[in-house]
Structure 1
């Protein structure tokens, strides 16, 4: 395992290209593109204002920079650095920007969600889509890039419009049985569209491409409802995380609950492997302090995992504040492994715990208890390996073979807050508040 030097970045704006050849990151007004093998700068672009968002096109030939404060988007070409494109929304303002699946159209959302504009890089045509709804996830594309689903709000009702992406023609428009639609997402195979209501009402609906409602799921009433939704890679399961601290998994045939996973405050199942992080203070070097006779020892916290065998085991719990909005309770993280064998979850009022479930056996297999709060957890796209961070200078890895804690060997005070996997696996991008570095799990450079 090798680590690169630290590089400057802003706002966690660092992305691998889809083909895995490049790494882009933002440093205020500048967009830096590096070769992933040598980490040498291959392109350096200067934008007109501070960058708030970057996104690669699907073929890795273009990259866009969103500057929301100025209501502007700049597009850059890696193959033709002299080619430039600028999109100015003007007085309409800019709320969000993203690529279409073909990598030749850009979708911009105006302030207050007044409209969505589709800009073509091929023929410079412009199309407008009215009535987009301001919600957490109001737009989603099928994995094959054929269809786009858009949440809309008209006449005090929720609607979904389905567009075909090659012509941007409307192919289906239907009303949904939701009070306040909060999000929608296609299944990986593109055959089912999942729609769910706001957290004030537990309501999940499943639609076919032609707008037919296939099933409705309501676990309970008169309490905070759905917090997170995640499809399995095979489209066979749909995991629903709720504010009642439970995960419910639906099957794709009957859309009924296959299993209901709870997150107890006390672990009493002896079959679950519990990894507990233990920190130890170790002297790393001595530092000369002016005005002090002699050197003062400098200590660093080194950690390792202990496997707990005695049950029951208490899981640290935080009591949510009932007077504050968006209480820290419920399942905020749902992530299936790429091979569809495991599911990782996090319950917000147990921020130090990460739960790993066996999808085939429908039971819990691992509980990881960290010293700090789990900030981010990501599965490898090619193998059964989970990486997580807790906002310190360490990287944590889990696989069916076991867990390991690795300290990032940097001289500066570097804390890992976000993790990204390389599209081909084997490389991790570790992002802090103002810096980033790469972790090469295998020396394949």
Structure 2
């Protein structure tokens, strides 16, 4: 692996362009666009206030900067640096802003979710969508082909779904849902089925077709906290549902019934399951050692710990954190889950076992690998090209797992660089590592990409 130098960033606002050619980063009110291969600055834009959100258009030709406090949006063009656009929502305020799939319309959600304003960059026309619902997770979902948009709405104390055609923003379907308090919506990757799930107080998933027909309803249990996370498999064959009872239920696309129930047990007893445990070792210096670090950052370098994975025999007991029942949003249940791009593996995280990543074999619907980290897992993401998982824990290391093994890599910076989030390049040949105030790129060598 090779690492770039470290650059400044504000609020962890750093994004690859969809085509993988550019890297945008924000430093307070400045937007910096770099070439990914050389990291040279291509464009430098100055916004009217501190940037709070940045997003590329799907074709990588425009970039949106949102300043929610002032209700402002500024749009910049990479092809025409002199062209720019400013959108001011005025007294209506602004709480969210995002691109439509065509990259020529911007959707702004006003304060109190009174409406969504659709701004066209081509015709300069404006249209309004009323009654958007303030969902806990996702209230707006686009199909992968960009042709349709589903919007969760709340009217007269009842939940509704509206489906729009993105080419002209005409309403295609409008129907009510059998939910008490709709929490989120998500299209299957093939755009044929819309998953709708209810508040965490009630375990209910509803599946609708594009024309608004209710295909199926699924509920695993009652009178307890229900759904915490949902994700589709890349093939659209499976819908994985993570819940507060520390289980993942996988529904199939034919009958919409569960075909597997994956439990996150505190003890691993099966010797066929590989358990990787991270082991830390402190660097030892002897008298007369010429490799002692010097300079202003010597102290942080001196106390850096190295780590490696060791395979632990079964039975193996995992670390559990008992949630506080008196606090809201208890840290319990499956809060994160993601399928690998080839549909072979499912990675999950159980929030009351925050040090552990679980990797399941989708073909066998069985636990395959467990990774036990020293620090709590903050984020994980699959390589978009192959079955390779990147993990960060807020330490100065990045962790990679693939079916061939697992590795811990120290970020070689002079200052302490605590990796809080990460993002894969579209080609899977680089990782963007982001700390509180800095970012760097980790380039994976060709041999590593071939494995």
TM-score range, shorter chain: over 0.9
Question: How far apart are the structure 2 equivalents of 1:297 and 1:14?
Answer: 26
Provide structure 2 residue ranges, at least 5 long, that are not aligned to the other structure.
Answer: 286-290
Q: Pick the structure with more strand per residue.
A: 1
Is it true that 1:327 corresponds to 2:325 in the alignment?
Answer: no
Conservation of the 8 A alpha-carbon contact between 1:250 and 1:257: yes
Query: How many aligned residue pairs are there?
Result: 439
Conserved? CA contact 1:2–1:443, under 8 Å: no
Say which SS state the counterpart of residue 112 (structure 2) adopts: helix
1:318 counterpart (311, 316, 321): 321
Give per-residue Cα distances to partners, 1:206-251, cap 9 Å, x unaligned.
0001111000000000000000000000000000000000000000
Compute the TM-score of the two structures, normalised by the length of structure 2.
Answer: 0.95
Q: CA deviation at 1:286?
A: 3.7
How much does 1:288 deviate? 7.4
1:85-164 equivalence runs, <5 A: 85-135=85-135, 136-164=137-165
Instruction: Tell me what 1:386 maps to.
Output: 389
The aligned counterpart of 2:170 is 169
2:213 maps to what in 1? Answer: 212
Contact 1:380 1:386 in 2 (8 A): yes
Q: Deviations over 1:20-42 (max 9, x none)?
A: 00000000000000000110000
What does residue 242 of structure 1 align with? 243
Q: Is the 8 A contact 1:184 1:194 kept in 2?
A: yes
The residue that corresponds to 1:300 in the other structure is 304
Selected match of 1:404 from 398, 404, 407: 407
Question: TM-score if structure 1 supplies the norm length?
Answer: 0.97
Q: Is the CA contact 1:286–1:296 (under 8 Å) kept in the aligned structure 2?
A: no
Distance 1:245 1:366 in 2: 17
Distance of 1:3 and 1:286 partners within structure 2:
22
**8 Å contact from structure 1 (residues 283, 297) kept in 2:** no
Which stretches in structure 1 are left out of the alignment for 5+ residues?
none
Q: CA RMSD in A?
A: 1.6
Deviation at 1:299, TM superposition (A): 3.2
Runs ≥4 in structure 1, deviation > 3 angstroms?
283-290
Does 2:430 match 1:427?
Answer: yes
Cα deviation, residue 267, structure 1? 1.0
- The 5-angstrom pairing of residues 62-81 of structure 1 reads 62-81=62-81
Counterpart for residue 46 of structure 1? 46
For 1:296 and 1:116, the matched residues in 2 are separated by 48
Summarize the Cα distance change of 1:191–1:287 in structure 2 as closer, same or farther, 3 Å threshold. closer
Partners of 1:246 and 1:105 in 2: CA distance: 40
C-alpha offsets along residues 372-391 of structure 1, whole Å, 9 cap, x if unaligned? 00011000000110000110
| Separation (CA, whole Å) in 1 of partners of 2:41 and 2:153 | 42
**Alignment partner, residue 198 of structure 1:** 199
* Whole-angstrom CA distance in 2 between matches of 1:84 and 1:321: 50
- Is 1:355 the equivalent of 2:384? no
* Distance (Å, rounded) in 1 between the aligned partners of 2:301 and 2:272: 43
Match of 1:442 in 2: 445
